[in-house]
Amino acid sequence: MIATICRKAHFNAAHRLHNPKWSDEKNRAVFGKCNSPNYHGHNFDLEVRIRGEVNPDTGFVMDLAVLGKVIKDEIESRFDHKNLNEDCPEFEGILPSTEYFVKIIYDILKPKLDSGQKLHITLFETQKNAAEYGDW
């Protein structure tokens, strides 16, 4: 039997969306408040979904407590209360948009799964705005 499990997490981080190839005026027009020169914070809500075979010995796809610890150690401790532009080498040379951020989180977590388990990440930047990335 195949099933999907979901673990949620929450962290806060600051960023600034600014494309150095553009004028200040164009950056303000495209990115709005996210172009604010002195950065600004977001309360990120993360949803990590893992799809795979249910182990008949446990009834689990994966122990959610173990998954929670992986997310805490690999994602929350890395990004919580950080300035994504200044503190996080993962964003070197790319814009810290939710779309790129969700792919970065996927790439960090994917090697932690058993082979055959699929991963799908949803990252909410605000209550209304989210990006998703995954292998299904």
| Identified catalytic residue from 15, 34, 42, 120 | 34
Give the active site residue among 6, 10, 40, 81: 81
Please choose, out of 26-34, 53-61, 62-70, 109-117, the segment that lies near Ni ion by the rule CB under 5 A: 26-34
> For residues 1 and 83, what is the distance between their CA atoms, to the nearest angstrom?
42
| Cα distance between residue 94 and residue 59, in whole Å | 41
Q: Judge whether 107 and 28 are in contact, CB under 8 Å.
A: no
Q: Could you tell me which stretch among 34-42, 70-78, 81-89, 97-105 binds Ni ion (CB under 5 A)? A: 34-42
CB of 55: closest distance to Ni ion in angstroms?
40
- Closest separation in Å from C-beta 48 to Ni ion: 22
Q: Can 34 be counted among the known catalytic residues?
A: yes
Count of residues that bind Ni ion according to CB under 5 A: 1
- Residue whose CB is less far from Ni ion, 95 or 108: 95
Question: In the chain, which ranges are continuous DSSP H helix?
Answer: 24-31, 64-71, 77-79, 84-87, 98-109
Instruction: Respond yes or no: is residue 132 known to be catalytic.
Output: no
Beta carbons of 86 and 16 less than 8 angstroms apart: no
Please pick, from the candidates 9, 13, 34, 48, the single residue that binds Ni ion as defined by CB under 5 A: 34
Query: Where on the phi/psi map is residue 93: left (φ > 0), alpha (ψ -120 to 50), or beta?
Result: left
Rule CB under 5 A: which residues touch Ni ion? 34
